[in-house]
């Protein structure tokens, strides 16, 4: 129980971060880049991402197929394009898991 001062306890200072150009403890930057590429590919092949991306592409195709004849059509195209860009951004950013 931590109710007071313990004479037998030792207090340790946090370790200082390594200094110098390579602060990644010997990890090669190419290894990280290839790992990130594999992670992106794995995320891109998930059904959630594929489904949303295909849906946004179909939405864009339908707007372009039926033509843009009103302001609502432009809004539809903007919404579908924003959805597609959000899906692409989700793949390119690092995953926090």
37 lies in some domain = no
pTM beyond 0.85: no
Is residue 62, in this structure, part of any structural domain at all?
Answer: yes
Range of the domain at 87: 47-97
- The pLDDT assigned to 40 comes to 80
- Total tally of structural domains belonging to the chain: 1
Residue scoring higher pLDDT (21 or 73) = 73
Whether residue 67 is contained in a domain is answered as yes
34 falls in which pLDDT band (50, 70, 90)? low
Report the pLDDT value the prediction gives residue 96, as an integer from 0 to 100: 57
Q: Is residue 83 part of a domain?
A: yes
What CA–CA distance (Å, rounded) separates 3 from 9?
13
Residue 58 counted as domain residue: yes
Q: What letter would DSSP give residue 2?
A: -
Residue 65 has pLDDT above 60, yes or no: yes
- Which range, of 3-7, 50-54, 85-89, averages the lowest pLDDT? 3-7
- Name, of 12-26, 34-48, 49-63, 82-96, the range with top average pLDDT: 49-63
Measured between alpha carbons, how far is residue 9 from residues 2, 14, 44, 53, 69 in Å?
11, 16, 50, 57, 77
Residue at 91 is within a domain: yes
From CA 51, how far away is CA 56, in angstroms rounded?
9
Residue 64 lies in a domain: yes
Q: What is the pLDDT of residue 95?
A: 61
Helix, strand, coil shares of the chain as percentages rounded to 5?
Answer: 60, 0, 40
Q: Is residue 20 part of a domain?
A: no
pLDDT above 90: percentage of residues in the chain = 40
């Amino acid at each position: 129980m931590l109710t007071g001062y313990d004479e037998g306890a030792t207090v340790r200072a946090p370790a200082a971060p390594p200094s110098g150009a390579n602060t990644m403890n010997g990890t090669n930057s190419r290894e990280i880049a290839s790992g990130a590429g594999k992670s992106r590919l794995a995320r891109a092949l998930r059904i959630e991402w594929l489904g949303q991306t295909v849906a946004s592409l179909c939405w864009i195709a339908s707007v372009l197929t039926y033509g843009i004849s009103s302001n609502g059509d432009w809004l539809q195209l903007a919404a579908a394009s924003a959805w597609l860009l959000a899906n692409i951004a989700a793949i390119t950013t690092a995953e926090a898991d």
